[in-house]
Structure 1
Amino acid sequence: MRATTGLSVCVSAALLACASEDGPTQPEAGGNPAAASSAAAASNTWTAKAPRPPMGPVFETFAGVAPNSAGQSIVYVFGGTDGEGTGLGTGAYNVATNSWTWRSSISIFAANGVGTIGNKLYFSGGYNEVETPSSFSNRLWAYNYAQDRFILKASLPIFGAEGVTGVIDDELYVLPGACSGDRYPDLPGYCAVEPTRRFYRYDPATNTWVTLRRAPHYHRQGAAAVIGGKFYVAGGFHDFQPVADLDVYDPATNTWRTLAPIPSAGRAIGTALKGKFHVLVGTNHYVYNPATNTWQTRAAAQWPHDAVVRVTLDGLPYLLAVGGTHGPSLDIPNDSELYTP
């Protein structure tokens, strides 16, 4: 997820969505129920779904997933910007009905991914306005999707954006991407390179943060997933140079290992599905198998997206890629895409 990855709980990303065990497991509602309830017929295929409703150019959204009262996966696509720093609304997509509704807005974009814990979606950092040193946020928000309410929590220890998030044992793991130049003036607009590897854990039970061992590589706009109780992060940028590194964090030992690099470097989104790490770099689609430490190429998506999450439809797991725009003015929303593994 970009956040991730990078929009499961986890989106990255470039905006990552969050990464929870085996992806964001679950996530309301005007569209075409018939079109949505029939999943793609063939395996390893992408099927176009309803795009987020038009609202002009949209960049840097982030997403998470949670179930509604009927047990249907609802994908929440937060924020984004029109390119001028104006924050946009929250869209809720019902996978079963292939339809969108609007929820409360929050003026944040390019947050550090999304993580689902209990009945809330958590996301931290991001930008409050156009990308300037003073625009970085360190706020942690918990979104109660049943009440459609944003709740402010203890601040992230660093002002950061464009990172990734994962959930392990009901705790949030956050690796910010870019950091505030106000605090790290070595690089105007962004923090000094080294702090972009800083890694944190948040416990919602105590509303506290803990600083963990730093990541071995830089993953601004990378993808993330949680598989087997470990946190995987791939791709992204070091400064403005694309990277292909894959790193895995083991919370049991507070250590990182570097694994086989992803076949393509650059901005990535990803999540876990059936025990494997699915990563989109642009439209290229790769799958990492932790058991063999190898990558495979899978069917490419039609569009580049802001986030990808794991969803459930008719009792089966799929991936849903959301966000992104195209057209002469980048004002036409890309179709959402459902992937059948």
Structure 2
Amino acid sequence: MRTLFIGAVCVALACAIAPLASAKPTSGWQWAPAPPAAIQEVGAVVLGDKVYVAGGLGLPGQVGLFSNKQFQFDMLTGAWSEVASFPVPVHHLQAVTTSGKIYYLGGLEGAALIPNGRVWQYDPKTNELTERARMPQQRIRGATGAAVHDGKIYVAGGQRDYLAFGYFDEYDPATDTWTALPDLPNPREHLGAAIVGDKSYAIGGRFVIQPAFIRPTDVFDFSTGSWSTIGPIPHGRGGLAVVPIGDMIYAIGGEGIGPSFTDNEVLDTRSLTWSTREPMKQGRHGIQGVASDGKIYIAGGASYSVYLPEADMQVYVP
């Protein structure tokens, strides 16, 4: 097990920006303080009053083409800062949180999109990154979807060697162990995952090559240990953000061929029906959205297919 300790380096926008939390919430999309660098294919998560954005593809002269940086955004002050970095650059990773810790997993390395299978645990209290048990060798992949249920992390889909997989695995941080579960009915990568109640939803994604989108939504029932498939997402796409708020799951942005999508579609998990909401201000893909206090935060992302990272953040109030 390898532990890194790196002192927080302030790169904040600081006092010149009014705190986002002090503004009166309004429905729809708004711009928020931009991250310190243009990044896409990031992992993002919210813990307490902070949003964390890590890894990704960036720009030379900023974080580099392949980033090992981790940034935090303070929702109370509107300031960004840099915290502990990964030992190696990683992109197409997922971020989740449980028991006061952040977990980054399911990443790829380099231009060859090599999955590393690595899991890092980040403790915001100590600013330490600790490497945990890797994915089982035969199930290593990146560009996955991940979500948390009852303290355990569930990783769906993903890609390796330019193939999409339907793997579904459970990682238990308490025991640092992996367990293979039944595969998704529809293999996919660049998907989004969300858990509402006792069900896990695999939404969107593709079969590696654009525009081979996977539109059916696969649903895993934790009470029965089995999968089912429900109605398709209206606009198929990969590289989207999938964010649950209450009984609703928002599917935002995404990648096709050309400019990134602005779509904002929502699945009502009670009626299992889709509807359309206000689109993003500007399309983004390579994003992981997070929700806090009824707002959805999306930092960075690319404005065009494959690669064009941006340094901005959009916030949506349903």
State the match for 2:179 in structure 1: 210
Indicate the larger mover: 151-160 or 166-175: 151-160
Please state how far the C-alpha of 1:283 moved relative to its aligned partner: 1.2
CA contact 2:45–2:51 (8 Å) conserved in 1: yes
CA contact 2:70–2:83 (8 Å) conserved in 1: yes
CA contact 1:33–1:96 (8 Å) conserved in 2: no
- Asked if 1:109 corresponds to 2:86, the answer is no
2:143 counterpart letter in structure 1: E
Q: TM-score, normalised by structure 2?
A: 0.83
CA contact 2:19–2:75 (8 Å) conserved in 1: no
- Asked if 1:233 corresponds to 2:214, the answer is no
- Asked if 1:95 corresponds to 2:95, the answer is no
CA distance in 2, matches of 1:50, 1:82: 18
What is the aligned-residue RMSD (CA, Å)? 2.1
Please state how far the C-alpha of 1:100 moved relative to its aligned partner: 0.7
2:235 counterpart letter in structure 1: S
Provide the secondary structure at the position in 2 that maps to 1:248: strand
Provide the secondary structure at the position in 2 that maps to 1:253: coil
State the match for 2:31 in structure 1: 48
Unaligned runs of 5+ in 1: 1-27, 68-72, 182-189
Change (3 A) 1:289 1:331: closer
Residues paired across the two proteins, number: 284
CA distance in 1, matches of 2:97, 2:39: 24
Deviations 1:102-137 (A, max 9, x none): 1122221101x22211121112131122224xx221
CA distance in 2, matches of 1:215, 1:251: 13
CA contact 2:66–2:91 (8 Å) conserved in 1: no
Deviations 1:162-189 (A, max 9, x none): 001010000000114112x3xxxxxxxx
CA contact 1:58–1:81 (8 Å) conserved in 2: yes
Change (3 A) 1:40 1:200: same
1:309 to 280, 284, 290: 290
CA distance in 2, matches of 1:159, 1:74: 30
Change (3 A) 1:93 1:287: same
Unaligned runs of 5+ in 2: 1-11, 254-260
CA contact 2:54–2:70 (8 Å) conserved in 1: yes
Change (3 A) 1:332 1:308: closer
Structure number with higher relative contact order (C-alpha < 8 Å, ≥ 6 residues apart): 1
1:38 counterpart letter in structure 2: A
> What are the within-5 Å matches in structure 2 for residues 67-86 of structure 1?
67=48, 73-82=49-58, 86=66
CA distance in 2, matches of 1:50, 1:325: 17
CA distance in 2, matches of 1:321, 1:173: 22
CA distance in 2, matches of 1:148, 1:320: 22
Provide the secondary structure at the position in 1 that maps to 2:109: coil
Deviations 1:176-226 (A, max 9, x none): 4112x3xxxxxxxx24x4xx1011001111111110000011231111111
CA distance in 1, matches of 2:190, 2:303: 20
1:272 to 230, 244, 251: 244
CA distance in 1, matches of 2:72, 2:143: 22
1:93 counterpart letter in structure 2: F
Change (3 A) 1:36 1:156: same
Please state how far the C-alpha of 1:64 moved relative to its aligned partner: 0.9
State the match for 1:20 in structure 2: none
State the match for 2:108 in structure 1: 127
CA contact 2:143–2:159 (8 Å) conserved in 1: yes
CA distance in 1, matches of 2:302, 2:173: 34
State the match for 2:14 in structure 1: 30
2:317 counterpart letter in structure 1: T
Provide the secondary structure at the position in 2 that maps to 1:75: strand
CA contact 2:156–2:202 (8 Å) conserved in 1: no
Change (3 A) 1:331 1:298: closer
Percent identical among aligned pairs is 25
CA distance in 2, matches of 1:116, 1:40: 25
CA distance in 2, matches of 1:147, 1:258: 42
Provide the secondary structure at the position in 1 that maps to 2:265: strand
CA distance in 1, matches of 2:309, 2:249: 31
CA contact 1:166–1:225 (8 Å) conserved in 2: yes
- Asked if 1:156 corresponds to 2:135, the answer is yes
CA contact 1:218–1:236 (8 Å) conserved in 2: no
2:187 counterpart letter in structure 1: Y
